Structure 1
Amino acid sequence: MGAAGVHGAVGPAPSRRQLAELLFADADDPLGALRWTLAELRRALGVPGALAGDPVVAALDGAEVDVLAGEPLPDAEGDLLDGVHLPACLEFESWLLVARHRVAAAVEARLREEAVALLAGGRAGAAIRYASRAVARQPLDEGNHELLVRCLAAAGDEAAALRQVAICEDLFRRELGAKPSPAVRDAARLGVGSAAGAPLRGRAAAVSQLEAGRAAIVAGAADAGIQCLRRAATEAARCRDTALQARALAALGSALVHAVRGRDNEGAVVLREAVEVAARSGERATAVTARRELGFVEVQAGRRGTADAWLAQAQELAETDAELAAVLAIRGMSASDAANYPVALAQLGESVELARSCGDQRQEAWSAGVLARSHLLRDDRSQAAAALARSLELVHQQRWMAFLPWPQTLRAELDLRGGDLDGAADGLEQAWALACQLGDPCWEGMAGRGLALLHAGRGDPASAGAWLDEAAQRCNRVPDRYQWVHGHVLDAAAAAALARGDHDRARRLVDALWSLAARCDLRELVVRAHVHRYRLGDGAALNAARLLAANIDNPALSPLLTSI
């Protein structure tokens, strides 16, 4: 796979002389080597006006470059610029390593997207090829194995599905010292939209099951609710009521994504089917919901390209303030994860205002809570405090306990930064207890990380380290983890290991952080991983961090990069 450039390159374009020195520092005539190379590239591309000027401008009109398309073809093989290494130019090597991870992740996301689309469209046999290739590219990703097992089971090959489960279990036991979650084995016996119990009859029965399922989910009875929603979708399909079927599938997919941890893969397949059925029935609002939820799944998984595509479609179809508020909230969340703070603050701020204008207090609370995180990451403390006050006020008014640990944890971290250790302790202990009661790995990871920071602030590094180990285990225990939270915890754990002089552990944590952040386009966490590497003795890592941080608008990064 080759390309003239990759989305995500940082900093201003280099001059011709800088580019020559960057790429051909060892040549007798670096500028001459650059001229010859650019001429050969223009000839190979068949675009005479390309790669000209000072600085060099790509101008690749008429040439198709898979990587620049944003969504590399799923048939792509190899790594970006495979075989290219410039050890004399460490800045380029740092950029290329990150770009290779990001492009590899984009190809894998496309493979998964193709497999899910085929599976949802009833072509499970064709989906197996794409799911198998996703497993081959990332064999230690549990979600890829689950998707392949689901495809094999849906194609009617139960024996092959169970063999894949065994392969996954043996691989994880050998490589990771742990078993995959039950979701992998469950996928071998759970068909899309399958429903337990005796078949129902009639549209009225389907409507009744849909309403009962939604009520059960709201009440916290996830298993019962999901069974009702499965029956609703099955009966609506039997009645050939496509509008009702689309609504039932969207409700079922959303429930699998939000109400039951470890079911995002199944939820994505159901949501993809909801998109197709909604298109046939003209259910615009359902189409918005299903696309938005698919975007949410991809954001949590760190698959930025496919997330952006689904969310852009959802926003284009959205008509009401409530719909736009929900879509913009997730787009802002994604932008914040990727450290694109100006976009994140604008989208989340607009989401808060739209939610307020239409009286959707839960959406306003959610959007304000995610907005507060962006401000906190930038160390905009007053703005973070205002957003958190509003989020907490609305959460308490709504008695929305399922979301409370998020703003509680962020408020406590703000207290920590202000030196109020007792206030932070109260908030974090409450957030931890509620997170454990809810069984939400994201909330547990965030609250556990906060408790670690609290113990570090009290001068107890041993307890801080223990809490970070616990937080890392909690937030990583399900296959559909929120990757940004996982990276956020790894960053804190690496810093703590460095502080207590445990360099061997710090290196393992930094390697894990760097790989995760590069694949998921978590740009600020890539910078922080390089800072950790510099502190571990890698002299070139600081320049790489500064290069990669050049396009991140975060005032809090400057002190980090200048204090070492």
Structure 2
Amino acid sequence: MRQLKLLGPAGLFVDGQPGAIPRGRKTWLLVGRLCLDGPASREQLAELLVADADDPLGALRWLLGDARRLLRGFADIQGRTTVACEFGSDVVVDALTLRHGSWVEAVTLPGLGRPFLEGIPDDEGPPVLQNWLQSTRWSLQAAGESVLREAGLLHLGASRPQEALTHLRRLLALNPFDEDGHVLTIRAFLAQGAFAEARAHAKNAICSAEQHLGSGAAAVLRLSLSGALESREPRSSIIVPSEATVHAALDTGRAALHAGSVDDASQTLRAAVADARTIGDTALESRALLELGAALLDTARGREGEAAETLSAAVTSADECGASDVAVESRVQLALRELMRGRYSRAMRWIDDAAGIGVGDTGDLMWARALCLVETGRTTSALVLFDRLVAEARDDDSGLRRLLHRGRCLFIHNDAEAAEADLRSSIVLARRLGSVQSLPLPEALLGQLAVRRHDLASARDLISHAEALAIRLKDPCWQEVSAAAHMRLAVAEGHPDEAVEIGTEVRGRCAGLAGGSVWFSAFCLDALCESALVAEDPRAGQWIDDLRTLSARCDMSTFLTRAVDHLADFGHRRA
């Protein structure tokens, strides 16, 4: 087997033995860029790697020749105008396995947790290269954390808590403040009956967060861990369990969830799980686990870990008994959870796994895939899927969701006219369906479009209603998107200091709410960076760094570009 190692010190290996002498830093950087980001023009590569050379294209020609010699027998580097790297079928590239492989493959990589191209300093080369190298390292570090988190979750869902702890300890060694890591670790201890260890772990994690991150972050972690410590084992119905009691509990749980009573729904669905387990109906148990996990995703902060564990158990149970529909739906739910957390590569893995089963609603899979694409900046590809989804939609809640998020995609794609048409249509449909909870997003985005065309009176009307409704709904995503619109309106009205106050207040308010999304947090943080630069707020540099790190870790290319632009603007203003 031939291996190209990019995690840790770079190298080439044949059957585990070193197969080439490492060359210069720039050669390895070129190889890493072609491996991870795909084909690029010679001009793009020259600008990235050797922009400071007297003859950038000439310097690139030399680097390409060196890279070809280095990779001989492993890969071919081809292309006169666009350069691409094609690997042999038996070549394993560890960084690509980490990004796109299964967790089973990724957790065994020797370089897991090591920096990309370790040994090359962060300040290597011109600023554009430094930004790329740091961003790639953050992205691969986050990918490493994600596979360890997924391994822990799936072992826990399969009732293997000791194996789960092995992976979760590795995760927390890489990122001591990973909230999910701590929640799943506590649930693994509880699954073993180690209640004292679970409480001690929670106490130590909260103390460490308070010491290193401050009281605000510690309070948010305390909220999550206290939820994880609560014992919520499924309990059977008060009557003799049967298939009928399971179906009754499922029907009652769905009704409670539809009425907005998530806690009552969760308790009833736990009874459905327990009853199905008691009568030994694995297919019915997998369905109950799926519905319980989906309900827990909507409940108060602190239940997300239990939700993920429950959905993972649904996957295991459904796979074992051949309940293909539940297997697909559970994977889609896990994909949407990963998406909300900004772990898009793992979300795509769940979507691909679900698609491979070959049953279920292809619209749900297409919907989840379109969301991943739009939030990672691939709006052109996302629009192809959204157009199909909207064309097939009915005038119901699902159709409203598709129309609304195509409008969001068009907004990001800078197609203002088409975005406004979809967003206005979604408001009309939402009012017709009585879906008040869907109004803040289109109103906030329409408000921003009004700000862009300097119609500030219309912008204020739209944004004020969106913001008030989002706060009343206690929806962190809608609060952040409406606050971003409000910040941009305040700047346009000549009040940048007020805009900064709006941004800092909403970020604190949303920290402890359930249902938050990394993408909407980045959207709000981007507006805060923009406002802080205009206000000449001394905290602007830190917020820009926060946006840059967050967007790089989550592969959100739109926000990473924005962060780099903000950083350049910050440097000019300081100069």
With the shorter chain as reference, the TM-score category is: 0.7 to 0.9
Could you say which structure has the greater relative contact order, defined with CA pairs below 8 angstroms and 6 or more residues apart? 1
Aligned-partner Cα distance in 1 for 2:268–2:48: 65
Count of residues in correspondence between the two structures: 527
Amino acid at match of 1:207: H
1:12-91 aligned within 5 A: 12-14=40-42, 18=46, 22=50, 35=65, 38-42=68-72, 47=73, 50-51=76-77, 57-61=84-88, 62-69=90-97, 70-71=99-100, 73-75=106-108, 76-85=112-121, 87-91=124-128
Matched, 1:515 2:543: no
Structure 2 CA distance for partners of 1:285 and 1:152, relative to 1, 3 Å: same
Question: Contact conserved, 1:295 with 1:308, CA < 8 A, in 2?
Answer: yes
2:210 is aligned, of 159, 170, 173, to 173
Q: Provide, for residues 334-372 of structure 1, a one-character-per-residue CA deviation record: whole Å limited to 9, x for no partner.
A: 11111101111111222222232xx6x111111111111
Q: 1:442 to 1:111 in 2, by over 3 A?
A: same
2:384 is matched by which residue type in structure 1? A
> Is residue 252–residue 267 contact of structure 1 (8 Å, CA) maintained in 2?
yes
The 5 Å alignment of 1:55-204 reads: 57-61=84-88, 62-69=90-97, 70-71=99-100, 73-75=106-108, 76-85=112-121, 87-178=124-215, 179=219, 180-190=221-231, 194-195=234-235, 201-204=241-244
Task: Say if 1:205 and 1:235, in contact at 8 Å, map to a contact too.
Answer: yes
Q: Residue type of the partner of 1:211?
A: D
- Deviation (angstroms), 1:471: 2.3
Q: State the 1:124 CA deviation.
A: 0.7
- 2:363 corresponds to 1:328: no
- In the TM superposition, what is the alpha-carbon distance from 1:487 to its structure 2 partner? 0.9
Partner residue of 2:321 out of 269, 274, 281: 281
- Quick one: which amino acid aligns to residue 179 of structure 2? E
Tell me, in whole angstroms, the C-alpha distance in 2 between the residues paired with 1:468 and 1:146. 28
CA deviations on 1:264-295 (whole Å, 9 max, x unpaired) are: 32212111111222223332322222111111
Alpha-carbon separation, structure 1, partners of 2:62 and 2:37: 25
Cα deviation 1:11-41 (Å, max 9, x = unaligned): 7243899599739969xx9676765565345
2:15 equivalent in structure 1: none
Q: Distance in 2 between matches of 1:309 and 1:373?
A: 24
Contact 1:116 1:269 in 2 (8 A): yes
Hey, what does 1:311 align to over in structure 2?
351
The answer (yes or no) to whether the contact 1:74–1:108 under 8 Å persists in 2 is no
Give the TM-score normalised by structure 2.
Answer: 0.84
Question: Percent of aligned positions with the same letter in both sequences?
Answer: 27
Relative distance call for 1:439 and 1:128 in structure 2 (3 A) is same
Change (3 A) 1:391 1:495: same
Residue of structure 2 in register with 1:5 after alignment:
32
CA RMSD of aligned residues (A): 2.9
* TM-score normalized by the length of structure 1: 0.86
Q: Tell me the secondary structure at the aligned position of residue 459 of structure 1.
A: coil
After superposition, give the CA deviation of every residue in 1:123-163 in whole Å (9 maximum; x if it has no partner): 01110011121122122232221122122221221111111
Q: Distance in 2 between matches of 1:373 and 1:20?
A: 31
> Structure 1 or 2: larger strand share?
2
User: Partner residue of 1:422?
Assistant: 457
SS in 1 for 2:297: helix
Q: Pick from 472, 483, 500 the counterpart of residue 535 of structure 2.
A: 500
* Deviation of the 1:181 alpha carbon: 4.1
Q: Which amino acid aligns with 1:485?
A: F
- Aligned equivalents of 2:84, 2:551: Cα separation in 1: 29
CA distance in 1, matches of 2:356, 2:201: 39
CA drift at 1:195: 4.1
- Show structure 2 runs of 5+ residues with no match: 1-6, 12-30
Match of 2:421 in 1: 386
Distance 1:422 1:53 in 2: 54
In structure 2, C-alpha distance between the alignment counterparts of 1:264 and 1:99, rounded to whole Å: 28
Distance 1:53 1:407, change over 3 A: closer
- Give the deviation of 1:60 after TM superposition: 2.1
